[in-house]
Every structure is written in C-alpha cells, then in structure tokens.
Amino acid sequence: MSTELRRTLANRDALVDPTNQYWRVNTLEIYRHQDIELRHVHTLLAEDTLTLPLLAGFSCPIKRFFEL
C-alpha cells in the first residue's frame, strides 16, 4: 500500500492494511484512527466476510482477496 494512500485512509475512521497478511495465514488487519494513533481493532480470517457500514449492502468474503 502506498504511503500516500495509507495517509489518505488514516485520515478516515479506519485503515485496512492487506500488507499485514502472512503468506500461510490469509488475514486482513483492521485499524482505527484514534486520537493521533492507528490502533488494531480486529483481524479478519479467510472464512470471514468484510462489510462496510458506509456502503450499505456491501460484503466481500475475505478469501477473495487472496485468490490467485
């Protein structure tokens, strides 16, 4: 994830950082901007589904991020 994109997302409420995935364990780390820090709030596993409250009706299985 580029530094510019990371900064843009950090200015919002949450940051999703797919670069924190492990090559054997497909995970997605969720961070929230609190005060001046980003804090880890959740880890989604391949069998989980990502939903976004700001996009009503949006959902995406996490395993789709890691398909070849």
Q: How does pLDDT run across 3-38, given as a tens digit for each residue?
A: 565 555 555 555 555 555 545 678 888 898 888 899
Q: How does pLDDT run across 42-60, given as a tens digit for each residue?
A: 999 989 999 988 899 999 9
Structure tokens at 13: 């409420």
Which pairing describes strands 14-17 and 37-45: parallel, antiparallel, or unpaired?
Answer: unpaired
C-alpha span between 4 and 34 (Å, rounded): 19
Structure tokens at 42: 């959740």
Q: What are phi and psi of 20, to 5 degrees?
A: -85, 15
Contact of 7 with 13, CB cutoff 8 Å: no
pLDDT for the residue 66: 82
The residue ranges of every structural domain in the chain are: 3-66
pLDDT for the residue 34: 87
For the cut 80, the answer to whether the pLDDT of residue 63 exceeds it is: yes
Contact of 5 with 18, CB cutoff 8 Å: no
